[in-house]
Structure 1
Amino acid sequence: MQLLWACRQARSKIRDKSAPPPYPFAPMLAALLCTLLFSLSAVTARRTTEYMGGTETNFARLIIAPLVLMVFAFLFFENVSAHFQPNIFWLLFASGAIGFGLGDIALFQAFQRIGSRLTVLIVHCVAVPLALTVEFGLYKFGYMEKSALTSPSQIIFAVIILAGVTIALAPKENPHLEKSGLWSGIGWGLIAAFGQGIGAGTMVRFITEKYTEFNKLTGDEAFHAGLTVAAQRQLGGMVFTGLCLWALRTYLKGNPASPSARALTNPGSDWTAGRRWLLLNALAGPAFGVTCYQWALLNNPTGVILPIVATTPLVVIPFAIYMKEEKPSWRSLAGGVLAVAGVVGMVMWTQA
C-alpha cells in the first residue's frame, strides 16, 4: 500500500507542471547514473556472453526492457498513449531494428572478441561523427531542414576522435588479443557504431522532427515521449533479433558444423548460470539506463548532459579491470581519453 501511495504521489507531482523541481541537481545526477549504468551494462553484457550466445542475450534483454519502460509509463503518467502515434510506429520500429537489432547483435559479437572497454570506445566514439556525416548528407539532399555539421571545427574533432580510437586499438597495445580476433571485433564494433549512430541517432531525429513535435516538448512531456519512443524502438529490435535467432537456429539444423553461424548463436546456452548477468544487463542498459537518460534531459540543456554521457568509454575502464577482462596499456588508455575528449568537444561545439 505504501508503494502504491508513493507511486500516486510521484504521478501527481509529475502532472503538476506549475510545481518547481524540488531537486535542481537531479538531472545532473541522472546523467551520472546513466553513464554508470551504461558502463555496467557493457561489462555485464561481456560476462553474459560467457554463458550464452550474443544473439540470444540481446533477444532476451529486449523482452525485459520494454516491459520495464512501460511499467514506468503506467505508474507515472495518466495518459500512457499520449505520445504513441500510429503513423510513426513503423518508422520507430525500423529505427529500433537497425539500432537495437542489427547494431546490438554486432555489439555482443564485439564484446565476445575484444571486451567491453574497446567495444564501448568504438561504438560511442565512432557513432557521433558518423551520425553527423549522414545527417549532413540528408540535409544536402533536402531530406532534413538543417544539419548539425556546420563547422570545420567539428571535422577537427572527428579527426581527434579517429586518432584516439586508432591509438587505443593498435594491435601492439592489445597483446592479449589475437590479431584475427581483434580485427573481427573491430569490424563488429563498427557495425554496432553504425546501428547506434544511424538507428538511434539520425533516424530518430529525422522521424521526430519531420513527423512529430516532440522536439518542442519540455519537462515531463519530453520524458514521457522519450520513454514511449524508446519502448517502440526496442520492440523493433526484439522482433529483428528474434527473426535472426530463428534463422540462425534453422540454418544450424542443416549445417551443424558451420563456424560462421555458431559464432553468432549458441544453442547450448547455459541460461541458469547466466540469468543473473542477463537480468543485470537488461536492467542496467536499455531499461534503467534509458530511463535515467530521459530523466537527465528534463528541462536541462542537451549540451550539458551529452558530454557527461560521452565519458562512458572512460567510466567502463575500472569496471572492466575489476571484472578481470584485461589490463590496458597506458598508451591504449591515452588513446581512449583522446577519443572521448574529441567526442565531448564535438558534442559541446555542435550544441553551441
Structure 2
Amino acid sequence: MFQVFISYRGEIAGLSAALIWACASLVYIGVGRQIAPLALNLTKGWMAIALIALTGLATGQTLPTLDSASLIVLLLSGAIGVGVGDTAYFNALNLIGARRTLLFETLAPALAALLALFFLQEQLSLQAWFGIFLVLAGVVWVVLERLPELSEAPHQTLRGILFGLLAALAQAIGAVLSRSAFIGSDVDTLSSTLIRLIGATLVLLIWGTLQQQTREIVKPLQSQRLFLIIAGTAFISTYLGIWLQQTSLKYAPTGVAQALTSTSPLFVIPLVRLMGDRVSMRAVVGVLIALVGVSLLFSRA
C-alpha cells in the first residue's frame, strides 16, 4: 500500500489539492464580496508565507542553495501563476460567477500539457492524453449544467471572459515553469512553494501600489472576523493547496498534474449536497466520466 502511495504521490497530491481548493472556493465567493481580488490574493499570500516560515522553523528546514536560473524560474512561476493567475480568477468570479469561471479553468490542463510538450519536450502517452480529455469533458459537462444566459451587461461579461482566459493561461505557464525548476534542480516542494509565494507577493505589492489599492490591502487587518476567515482559508488553500500542487508537479507530468488539480468542480458537488442542495443526474454522470479519466491518469505507466 505504501509503495502504491509512493508510486502515485504526484497524482494523489493533485487530487488532494483539487479537494482543498473546492472547499476554499465556497469561502472565497463570500469573501470576494468584501475585499478586492488583488488585496485578497495578497493577503492570503503573505499569510501562507508566514505559515511556511513557521513550518521551516519547527522542522529545522532551511532554504536550499539554488542556482540563479532555478530561483528566477520559481519566482516567475509564482508571479505569473499565483500573482496574476489567482487575481484574474477572483476577478472572473466576481464578474461572471463561479460556473462560467470554472469552465475557463478547464483550459489550463491542455494549455499546460502543450506548453510542456514544446518547451520541456515532455511527452505524454495516448492513454494520458485520453485521460486528460475525459477529465476535462467530465468537468465541462458538470460546469455547463444550467449555465445562465449571457449577462445583460455585455461589457462586464466580456471582462469576465478575458479574466477567465488570463487565469487559465497564467496558471498553465506557472505550472510549466515550476516543472522546469524541478527538472533543473533538486529543490524540495515546501521550499519551491515558499519561493513561488514570495514571487507572487512581490508582484502583487507592486501591482497594488501602482493601482493605489493601499486601503484595500490593509482592510483585512481592520476586521478581526475577516482576518480570521482569510487566515483559515489561506492555510487550507494556499499553504496546503499550493504545497500539494508543487508535489504533484514534481512527481507527475505537467499535463497530468494540471488535469488532476483542475477537478475541483467535481468535489464541489458532494460538498453542496451535504449543504442541502440538490445534485442532478447530469452532475453524477459528469463525475463518473471524469473519474474514468482520473483512473487512466493513475495507470499511465
Query: Cα offset for 1:137?
Result: 2.2
Aligned to 1:344: 294
Q: TM-score, normalised by structure 1?
A: 0.66
Aligned to 1:44: 27
CA 169–241 in structure 1, closer or farther in 2 if over 3 Å, else same: farther
Query: Cα offset for 1:33?
Result: 5.2
Aligned to 1:112: 94
Query: Cα offset for 1:39?
Result: 1.4
Q: What code does the residue aligned with 1:105 have?
A: T
Aligned to 2:185: 212
Q: What code does the residue aligned with 2:109 have?
A: V
Task: Judge conservation of contact 1:31–1:292 (CA < 8 Å) in 2.
Answer: yes
Task: Judge conservation of contact 1:53–1:269 (CA < 8 Å) in 2.
Answer: no
Task: Judge conservation of contact 2:109–2:132 (CA < 8 Å) in 1.
Answer: no
Q: TM-score, normalised by structure 2?
A: 0.75
Q: 2:107 aligns with which of 126, 138, 150?
A: 126
Task: Judge conservation of contact 1:313–1:340 (CA < 8 Å) in 2.
Answer: no
Aligned to 1:282: 234
- For residues 327 and 178 of structure 1, the distance between their equivalents in structure 2, rounded to whole angstroms, comes to 27
- For residues 179 and 270 of structure 2, the distance between their equivalents in structure 1, rounded to whole angstroms, comes to 33
In the TM superposition, 1:259-270 aligns within 5 A as none
Structure number with bigger Rg: 1
Q: What code does the residue aligned with 1:289 have?
A: G
Task: Judge conservation of contact 1:42–1:120 (CA < 8 Å) in 2.
Answer: no
Task: Judge conservation of contact 1:313–1:336 (CA < 8 Å) in 2.
Answer: no
Aligned to 1:195: 170
CA 336–105 in structure 1, closer or farther in 2 if over 3 Å, else same: farther
Query: Cα offset for 1:72?
Result: 1.5
Q: What code does the residue aligned with 1:205 have?
A: R
Identity of aligned residues (%): 21
Q: What code does the residue aligned with 1:212 have?
A: S
Task: Judge conservation of contact 2:103–2:140 (CA < 8 Å) in 1.
Answer: yes
Query: Cα offset for 1:68?
Result: 0.9
1:55 aligns with 2:38: yes
Query: Cα offset for 1:100?
Result: 0.8
- For residues 137 and 301 of structure 1, the distance between their equivalents in structure 2, rounded to whole angstroms, comes to 17
- For residues 95 and 244 of structure 1, the distance between their equivalents in structure 2, rounded to whole angstroms, comes to 16
Q: 1:136 aligns with which of 95, 117, 122?
A: 117
2:211 match: secondary structure? helix
Q: 1:68 aligns with which of 42, 51, 54?
A: 51
Task: Judge conservation of contact 1:45–1:277 (CA < 8 Å) in 2.
Answer: no
Query: Cα offset for 1:314?
Result: 1.0
CA 312–167 in structure 1, closer or farther in 2 if over 3 Å, else same: closer
Aligned to 1:260: none
Greater shift, 159-168 or 274-283, is seen at: 159-168
- For residues 152 and 29 of structure 1, the distance between their equivalents in structure 2, rounded to whole angstroms, comes to 18
Aligned to 1:4: none
- For residues 167 and 288 of structure 2, the distance between their equivalents in structure 1, rounded to whole angstroms, comes to 21
Task: Judge conservation of contact 1:161–1:342 (CA < 8 Å) in 2.
Answer: no
Q: 2:266 aligns with which of 306, 314, 320?
A: 314
Alpha-carbon displacement from aligned partner over 1:186-242 (angstroms, at most 9, x marks no partner): 33222111121111x211112221x3145xxxxxxxxxx101001101111111111
Query: Cα offset for 1:293?
Result: 5.3
Query: Cα offset for 1:315?
Result: 1.0
Instruction: Count residues with an aligned counterpart.
Output: 295
Alpha-carbon displacement from aligned partner over 1:10-33 (angstroms, at most 9, x marks no partner): xxxxxxxxxxx7xx79x7997765
Task: Judge conservation of contact 1:32–1:308 (CA < 8 Å) in 2.
Answer: yes
- For residues 12 and 125 of structure 2, the distance between their equivalents in structure 1, rounded to whole angstroms, comes to 31
Query: Cα offset for 1:243?
Result: 1.2
2:212 match: secondary structure? helix
1:96 aligns with 2:78: yes
Query: Cα offset for 1:276?
Result: 3.0
CA 186–304 in structure 1, closer or farther in 2 if over 3 Å, else same: closer
- For residues 128 and 257 of structure 2, the distance between their equivalents in structure 1, rounded to whole angstroms, comes to 21
Q: 1:174 aligns with which of 129, 148, 153?
A: 148
Task: Judge conservation of contact 1:93–1:236 (CA < 8 Å) in 2.
Answer: yes
Task: Judge conservation of contact 2:44–2:231 (CA < 8 Å) in 1.
Answer: yes
